[in-house]
Structure 1
């Protein structure tokens, strides 16, 4: 009797353990943050190089603090700012230091505008006196402390202002700013989205001059979208959006001399229809660097402007048969020689030039890509960078001397390694993850990469995930259309090669992108594991046109977006469909944005290969998308009509046989819902049955409240009902 009870207890325990290990992922958990990772918020390396600051919330009082820690010991050295002693400012969301770190700019009440832009209330905190004052009662944009810490410049209502702390004098540097007409000191919509910057002004090193861009967008066509809200009548959002082939804003360059109180336009030369994607003062307070890019984006001039004589000099020109990527890697050394990155030898590498633009040497070389440039340590004459030398799905951290010698691999774990260096490069915080390891943060020595101490890990999440049916990504490569393509696959736990499984393919496929990489799980990855629990195999393939395998591979799709990429996904589907354990009659594909453009084309152009597709916020005709992105890869519709028409899903709706789900946010300022509406009309006129959903007042990310949960429930149900 006792033995029977003991055996029953053991059996019951085994069942409990087994069931605990079989716990299924749910969409509620995924989209309510149950599997989120811990990180470091707003880390800043103090100028000494020995300490760093972060934002933390006090667990007892709830106060928001800027805490300072010693790099080497990890001990907290001081609380620099606490919201509990800031008077009317009860909380703040971000901070930045003046160069001498005696003043701190605190942001609060931030209000998002577009992807990168926001406006908010800003205060300046004086570290020595512990005094604080508000910069403006109004919400302002992109405030920037001068290098000497005694002034601040910012943008309000499309005009630039400068406030002098010592005199209390506020000066309005421009007065012609007007919504949808003239913008001073911040970028227009298309620059923000495609050149990825908002602040279009910069202080000179001596704090005496401000260079800024002015955008005249009066001739740019307007786009409008209804914002429904909850009022009786919807509101209309109207903004300037240059679609492919249409007029861009006219951009011009100005320099304001704060001491002399003068404002001068800088004439850069005989350029027509051009972009200025970057301005930056050099190490010399009288020399401004300006990058000028032609509309086709295949010729870039680096110009040095003498601020005294207003004379521009082209010091470097880059040309490419396809296009040139814009980066923030330009670094000026004390002698005004500069570091530059370029793909001119077929792979992205680091170069060193004299102040007059003569090549000193190519610092890095090889059939691999530089993926991040961290900076230059002038004391030891070393450059720090990240690259894919250890395989294109991995990232490692390296150092190399300015003359291209003594290269060292500083990271040693296979996966994605990223770095945040101290101001003097003596230490760096290594951010590491791979497909089986959530984010680990360690302090490492800058010269050797040796780990000094662990700062934070996510072992608690790993313990939690032991209860779940976690499915690994199996990385591999496949030979498709003459190329070796990176892939991952997620299989059900009880995978049996003798069985037939339905296949869901995910891809993005946009130029220079990468979806197959050895990193920790995204929210989508948990969704794929959930689908695997339900008996699906999920696959991702990075086809031609994606990044980090050299310029030739990345730029193979030039002037023909959606052709070779679709061919690769179709060929990959056939490859997987030929495997003994894949049911070739049950292959689906999905994607978001460029991925939605792709999944639509795959379903319409290869109806006998794909049973279903989901397209979220897709471009359906590149004529509807912006000038900078679209023309970079396709030129204008007037120059390349075939490139636009041959790959527009709208033109291939007659091919639809399978099941199609189309989703968009009605307030998508990026890929306008017009794309979906035009495709819907084409499908209706072709008398094609399909499903679709519009998310009211949601932008390109389609989120907020329960929106993501609802979206993924809808997509999950569509997959289970149709694949």
Structure 2
């Protein structure tokens, strides 16, 4: 009897062991072991039936069928070229006529979107590969409409290569100079905050080049101290550190002055275009049209409350205003970036009626109609079909946590093309006959499927089955949405991550994560959810250590209309921190939460709001971690800060609502982490804040990361950073 019992017990233990999952390790999370496989950026080809994409091994550009998702042709192969030979490449740019491509190699990152590279011209039919230029690396090459010319930027000047003249290279501008004058590419702040890296285009027939010139001579410099380091190693700084100096306009300071120019390729004449612009205004885009006598130039006033689109003749230099979009607070940058210009129309997103909706204008600026309606936000724009009058877009149609792809027909009828709950986006074929649907939810890694124009799936391209199988071996956390109402009557959405072995009879410490910046969202039904994305895997790692993890999108975040998002205008950090404190107070009422053991952390704006929340006055946080935080908006750049705050001269009280001013009110244990080469949120923010803490006699801990930028990565850096965050919370809250 005893022997039988021992045998049964052994079998039970064996079965339990087999069923038990593995705990998540930090090394696995940061090593990329759980990174989902994507399909990369795709280029829809002109036939409307196929698209091009870099192969999985990174050696080819392959043509695929939209209808089947299967390979139909190899357009480029590094091992099968005539002429020049390369071993690898990073990206490509297809010519407008589809007969050639530019192959990008040897890329070197500058800022978030800018880089230099060595480009090669590749002719598909002949397999001939030849250098674009022998005179140094290039930036942002642009094809002419007929594919016979290429313009690019080198050392802040524009150059032109003519393919029909044996790739003859000529220099278009000669006044470009580092930290003084820039032609054809944006300066740091325009690149970072208006989200683009090229400020140059050919006109409709390729007879002229048009570009934005940035005069940054009067913009003040910021210098980052660089050290030898180890990954990578900068031997030139072995004994003495060096300085990286660049132009960075802080809130209220001078920006670059901007203007638009054209160059007549045949006559070599350069003209300044007469675009109306305030002396301190912005030009966030320059776009060609089919009409050789018309380019479209976007302008913003400094407050970014008045967006204008001008049709400009590059020969006569005359400008005519087409559309003016004004807002009492600000025009969203995302709305500007999502404007679509077709042969005959301009599709404009606007929140003028309280929610982001789409408005159709003629190419001459006359309002045709409002296309979308409803109490929800359009969140991405895919295009307008001139042939059918259909408009394709993404929206938060069901609720703020989900996204769907929609089509609104010419007659106003709207159809949802992606009906599954979760987060859907799309990449359409030319002519809108097919689209790639990228879908995920909080429990399912990204799936890529081919769909027809009605949303019917016709082929699965990548369902990340390997990752799904791998994840089944691990103890994954429970992820649940919830809502609650604050003491001010504001309903907020949240997500809670519980340990896989959650016991409702116990009381758990809680770690809150958040970003909280204007228009952002972290409470999403997407695999991108989580403090570090990737389906909350890092948060699951923390849950394995005995925590509940929580994120709440407070006031100022996106997906809920203009009023909810813009209520933080002129006072960043005030309402956002109140809502995080209210979240902690709400969580403290739950029977399984230890109300005396609640922590908070965030990165960038989330780091700022961590500090604001810990010094809000209601001392609810036992510990917090602030990574790369702005600590006084006077230290941050003009474009972003003034969009939401105006200038310090206009709004001193708003700027004084900051962590430095609140330092004496800090409550709870604090860890600050910052990269010393952060070109975005300068180390100055951390240095000045810690000085304020010292003078207020507040204890804190600080980790610095040598030569690391705002993303704090490279070598073992990210693993180290996330371990510090986890260990700090364990030390202070367990």
The interval holding the TM-score normalised by the smaller chain is over 0.9
> 1:339, 1:71 → 2: CA distance?
25
Query: Which of 64, 77, 81 is equivalent to 2:76?
Result: 81
Q: Which residue of 1 aligns with 2:337?
A: 328
Distance, in Å, in 2 between the alignment partners of 1:74 and 1:466 is 27
Q: In 2, Cα distance between the equivalents of 1:37 and 1:348?
A: 31
Partner SS for 1:548: coil
User: Aligned residue for 2:53?
Assistant: 54
Q: CA deviation at 1:279?
A: 1.1
Once the two structures are TM-superposed, the CA of residue 70 in structure 1 deviates from its matched residue by: 2.0
Please give the secondary structure, in 2, of the residue aligned with 1:462.
Answer: helix
SS of the aligned residue for 1:475 comes to: strand
Counterparts of residues 680-695 of structure 1 (less than 5 Å): 680-695=690-705
The counterpart of 1:625, out of the listed 636, 653, 658, is: 636
Of 312, 323, 333, the match for 2:319: 312
Q: Name which of 380, 404, 413 aligns with 1:406.
A: 413
Which of 641, 646, 649 is the matching residue for 1:635? 646
SS of structure 2 residue aligned to 1:651 = coil
Aligned mates of 1:339, 1:283 — CA distance in 2: 16
For the Cα contact (< 8 Å) 1:74–1:455, is it kept in 2?
Answer: yes
Is 1:204 the counterpart of 2:207? The answer is: no
Kindly report which structure 2 residues correspond to 1:85-234, keeping only aligned pairs within 5 A, or say none: 85-86=80-81, 87-137=84-134, 138-168=136-166, 169-229=168-228, 230=235, 231-234=238-241
* Residue pair 1:182, 1:214 contacting (<8 A) in 2 also: yes
1:387-414 deviations in Å (ceiling 9; x for gaps):
01111110101111245x1211111211
Equivalent residue of 2:52, what SS?
A: strand
For the residues of structure 2 that align with 1:395 and 1:666, how far apart are their CA atoms? 37
- Partners of 2:560 and 2:202 lie apart in 1 by 37
Distance 1:76 1:494 in 2: 45
Aligned-partner Cα distance in 2 for 1:545–1:409: 27
Q: 2:272 aligns with which of 265, 272, 275?
A: 265
Q: Which residue of 1 aligns with 2:345?
A: 337
2:74 pairs with 1:67: no
Match status 1:540 vs 2:551: yes
Quick one: distance in 2 between partners of 1:192 and 1:179? 16
Q: Give 1:4 deviation, angstroms.
A: 6.2
Q: Which of 680, 683, 688 in structure 2 is aligned with 1:673?
A: 683
Report SS of the residue matched to 1:425.
coil
Q: 1:337-356 residue pairs with structure 2 within 5 A?
A: 337-356=345-364
Deviations 1:551-602 (A, max 9, x none): 1110000000000111111111111112222111111110000001110111
Once residues 608 and 255 of structure 1 are traced to their aligned partners in structure 2, the CA distance between those partners, rounded to angstroms, is 59
- Equivalent position SS for 1:545: coil
Q: Does 1:463 align with 2:462?
A: no
CA contact (8 A) 2:519 2:558 kept: yes
1:653 aligns with 2:656: no
Counterparts of residues 421-432 of structure 1 (less than 5 Å): 421-432=428-439
Residue 10 (1) aligns with residue 11 (2): yes
Q: How far is 1:9 from its partner? A: 5.4
Q: Is the 8 A contact 1:615 1:662 kept in 2?
A: yes
1:328 shift after superposition: 3.0
Kindly state the Cα deviation for residue 57 of structure 1 after the two structures are TM-superposed: 4.3
Superposition deviation, residue 608 in structure 1: 2.1
Equivalent position to 1:584, from 569, 587, 595? 595
Residue correspondence of structure 1 range 230-629 to structure 2 within 5 A: 230=235, 231-269=238-276, 271-326=278-333, 327-334=336-343, 336-403=344-411, 405-446=412-453, 448-480=454-486, 481-521=488-528, 523-524=532-533, 525-606=536-617, 608-629=619-640
Please give the per-residue CA displacement for 1:419-476, whole angstroms capped at 9, x wherever unaligned.
1111121111110000111111111001x11111111111222221122111121012
- Aligned 8 A contact 1:607 1:658 in 2: no
**Aligned equivalents of 1:136, 1:436: Cα separation in 2:** 48
The alignment yields a C-alpha RMSD, in angstroms, of 1.6
Task: Report SS of the residue matched to 2:158.
Answer: strand
TM-score in terms of structure 2 length: 0.95
Task: Provide the rounded CA distance (Å) in 2 between the counterparts of 1:4 and 1:494.
Answer: 27
Question: Contact 1:470 / 1:529 at 8 angstroms: preserved in 2?
Answer: yes
Does the 8 Å CA contact 1:621/1:675 hold for their aligned counterparts? yes
Counterpart contact for 1:607–1:656, Cα < 8 Å: no
Whole-angstrom CA distance in 2 between matches of 1:187 and 1:491: 45
Following the alignment from structure 1 to structure 2, what is the Cα–Cα distance between the partners of residues 340 and 653?
Answer: 43
Does the CA-based 8 Å contact 2:104-2:117 persist in structure 1? yes
Deviation per CA, 1:320-363, whole angstroms, max 9, x where unpaired? 111012333333333x3321111111111111112332211000
**Corresponding position of 2:231:** none
Between 1:550-559 and 1:317-326, the stretch displaced more is 317-326
Residue by residue, what CA displacement relative to the aligned partner does 1:510-529 show, whole Å, maximum 9, x if unpaired?
00000100001554521211
After the TM superposition, which of the residue ranges 258-267 and 382-391 deviates more from structure 2? Answer: 258-267
Instruction: Provide the TM-score with structure 1 as the length reference.
Output: 0.96
In the aligned structure 1, how far is the partner of 2:667 from the partner of 2:68? 64
Distance 1:402 1:282, change over 3 A: farther
2:566 is paired with a residue of what secondary structure? helix
SS in 1 for 2:555: coil
Task: Give me the whole-angstrom Cα distance separating, in 2, the residues matched to 1:375 and 1:657.
Answer: 49
Task: Work out whether residues 102 and 126 of structure 1, in 8 Å CA contact, stay in contact via their aligned partners in 2.
Answer: yes
Deviates more, 1:33-42 or 1:191-200: 33-42
Aligned 8 A contact 1:143 1:152 in 2: yes
Tell me how far 1:682 sits from its aligned partner: 1.0
SS state at 1:683 partner: helix
Residues of 1 paired with 2:408 and 2:459: CA distance? 24
| 2:232 alignment partner in structure 1 | none
Q: By how many angstroms is 1:281 displaced?
A: 1.6
Contact 1:42 1:94 in 2 (8 A): no
Per-residue CA deviations over 1:97-132 (Å, capped at 9, x if unaligned) read 111110110001100000110001000101122111
Q: Which runs of 5+ in 2 are unaligned?
A: 229-234
2:266 and 2:398 mapped to 1: Cα distance? 52
Contact 1:280–1:290 under 8 Å retained in 2: yes
Task: Give the Cα separation in 2 of the matches to 1:473 and 1:16.
Answer: 24
Pair 1:706-2:716 in alignment: yes
Distance 1:343 1:402 in 2: 21
- Determine the C-alpha separation between the residues in 2 that align with 1:678 and 1:301: 39
- Tell me how far apart the structure 2 counterparts of residues 643 and 74 of structure 1 sit (CA, whole Å): 52
Q: Distance in 2 between matches of 1:359 and 1:15?
A: 67
Q: Report the CA distance shift for 1:371/1:270 in structure 2 as closer, same or farther (over 3 A).
A: closer
Offset of residue 42 of structure 1: 3.0
Q: Distance in 2 between matches of 1:328 and 1:505?
A: 32
Q: Structure 2 CA distance, aligned partners of 1:378 and 1:9?
A: 71
Determine if contact 2:346/2:361 at 8 Å carries over to the other structure.
yes
**Cα distance in 1 for residues equivalent to 2:70 and 2:493:** 43
